[in-house]
């Protein structure tokens, strides 16, 4: 599948960012010149895969998680060039996106998920669809993904710990998946659950672990159906690394990062509001809604500013935090009449 590395690219130039940017250009010009021909993006991606191999030979994220993934990323609809599915803010470099993580199943330090997830298995993978839905069942991930065209979205990610990133995801709208399984009129909430792989997850085995596994999150059904809610299977043009929630994770960009649950194995449609992991642990700190809000502070972190990663010695890169993380136009109507200080 891989083609030869183009001779005009110096190895020193090959970073996931530069390759990624080149691919974006390629997709755009390809799209205008050829009316969106499907072959060209595939070629650009093959070159990207090859270049990335040269740049990071040990990077498992670039190896297909299973043979059936081969070709999955061949035709991706690039993000449009304007908000809300794209932002012109600088992308967070790939190395920070994959090395500065919260994934407590692998440990509590930011470097634990990348350093300690080497044994994590993503194949075979199935997702159970349960509860108030016409087509419940346990589906292989290949069948879950089959009908969905993959697209790219560049979103801000704001963690409740007051840092943020800008990440180019690949995936499909959560609403499209929900419609397929036909929720009943009683489905007012959607609950998500992360896999528990005791043997590969040191954080799950740890006697100091603070979470009651599995990690669980939830959305109101109208939040889940919002056009911004996204199921990601990749980032920076390739498969999700384990530490970012392989093989499939949620991305809800107007909410604090902890709502964006990783490595999903269960989607449960419910009548009533589900319990969620952080809310169970510390309800006064972590609400069910968890909408990004610069006026409602967390007891330990002010929320009116954020550190845009990566920081360096010369700049802390502190920027103001925006209500709904800057996605108010798309989501403010969901909370009309609600007291956001009470429903934090």
List interacting residues with Mo ion (CB under 5 A).
102, 159, 257-258
Residue 104 binds which entry of Mo ion, ligand MTE, none, CB below 5-8 Å type-dependent: ligand MTE
Number of residues that bind ligand MTE (CB under 6 A): 17
- Residue 296 is classified by DSSP as S
Nearest to 260, CA basis, from 250, 247, 246: 250
CA 145 centroid distance within chain: 15
Q: How far is the CB of 320 from Mo ion (least distance, A)?
A: 19
Q: Per rule CB under 6 A, is residue 262 in the interface with ligand MTE?
A: yes
Residue 228 binds which entry of Mo ion, ligand MTE, none, CB below 5-8 Å type-dependent: none
Nearest to 229, CA basis, from 187, 260, 183: 260
Could you tell me which stretch among 7-15, 53-61, 221-229, 258-266 binds ligand MTE (CB under 6 A)? Answer: 258-266
Cis peptide leading into residue 162 (ω within 30°): no
CA distance 312 to 251: 27
Q: Which is nearer to Mo ion, 164 or 229 (CB)?
A: 164
Among 101, 114, 279, 291, binds ligand MTE (CB under 6 A): 101
CA distance 194 to 248: 10
Cis peptide leading into residue 310 (ω within 30°): yes
Task: Read off the tokens for 327.
Answer: 């996605």
Q: Which of residues 205-224 bind ligand MTE (CB under 6 A)?
A: 215
Residue 237 binds which entry of Mo ion, ligand MTE, none, CB below 5-8 Å type-dependent: none
Among 47, 48, 87, 102, binds ligand MTE (CB under 6 A): 102
Could you tell me which stretch among 33-41, 102-110, 168-176, 311-319 binds ligand MTE (CB under 6 A)? Answer: 102-110
Question: Which pairs with CB-CB distance under 8 Å and at least 24 residues apart come from 23-26?
Answer: 23/48, 23/237, 24/78
Q: Per rule CB under 6 A, is residue 19 in the interface with ligand MTE?
A: no
Contact characters 136-165, ligand MTE, x per CB under 6 A = ---------------------x-x------
Q: Per rule CB under 6 A, is residue 261 in the interface with ligand MTE?
A: yes
- The answer to whether the CB of 270 falls within 8 A of the CB of 261 is no
Three-state DSSP at 264 gives strand
Q: How far is the CB of 259 from ligand MTE (least distance, A)?
A: 7
CA distances from 99 to 36, 84, 102, 205 (A): 34, 26, 10, 22
Task: Read off the tokens for 219.
Answer: 């959305």
Q: Which is nearer to Mo ion, 102 or 276 (CB)?
A: 102
- Chain residues that interact with ligand MTE, rule: CB under 6 A: 101-105, 157, 159, 194, 215, 244-245, 257-258, 260-263
């Amino acid at each position: 599948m891989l083609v030869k590395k183009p001779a005009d690219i110096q190895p020193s130039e090959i970073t996931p960012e530069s390759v990624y940017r080149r691919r974006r250009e390629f997709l755009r010009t390809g799209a205008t010149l050829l009316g969106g021909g499907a072959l060209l993006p595939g070629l650009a991606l093959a070159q990207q895969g090859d270049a990335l191999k040269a740049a990071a030979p040990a990077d498992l994220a670039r190896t297909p998680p299973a043979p059936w993934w081969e070709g999955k990323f061949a035709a991706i609809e690039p993000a449009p060039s304007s908000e809300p599915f794209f932002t012109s803010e600088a992308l967070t470099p790939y190395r920070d996106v994959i090395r500065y993580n919260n994934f407590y199943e692998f440990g509590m330090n930011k470097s634990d998920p990348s350093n300690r997830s080497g044994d994590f298995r993503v194949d075979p993978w199935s997702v159970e669809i349960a509860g108030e839905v016409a087509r419940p069942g346990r589906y292989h991930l290949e069948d879950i993904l089959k009908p969905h065209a993959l697209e790219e979205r560049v979103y801000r990610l704001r963690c409740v710990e007051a840092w943020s990133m800008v990440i180019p995801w690949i995936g499909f709208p959560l609403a499209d998946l929900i419609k397929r399984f036909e929720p009943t009129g009683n489905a007012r909430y959607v609950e998500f659950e992360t896999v528990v792989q005791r043997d590969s997850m040191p954080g799950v085995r740890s006697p100091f672990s603070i979470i009651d596994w599995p990690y669980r999150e939830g959305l109101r059904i109208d939040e889940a159906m919002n056009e911004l809610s996204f199921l990601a299977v990749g980032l920076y043009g390739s498969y999700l690394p384990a530490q970012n929630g392989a093989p499939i994770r949620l991305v809800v960009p107007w909410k604090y990062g902890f709502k964006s649950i990783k490595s999903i194995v269960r989607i449960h449609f419910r009548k009533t509001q589900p319990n969620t992991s952080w809310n169970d642990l510390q309800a006064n700190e972590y609400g069910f809604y968890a909408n990004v809000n610069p006026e409602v502070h967390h007891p330990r972190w002010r929320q009116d500013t954020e550190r845009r990663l990566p920081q360096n010695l010369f700049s802390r890169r502190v920027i103001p935090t925006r209500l709904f993380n800057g996605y108010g136009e798309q989501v403010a109507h969901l909370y009309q009449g609600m007291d956001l200080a009470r429903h934090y």
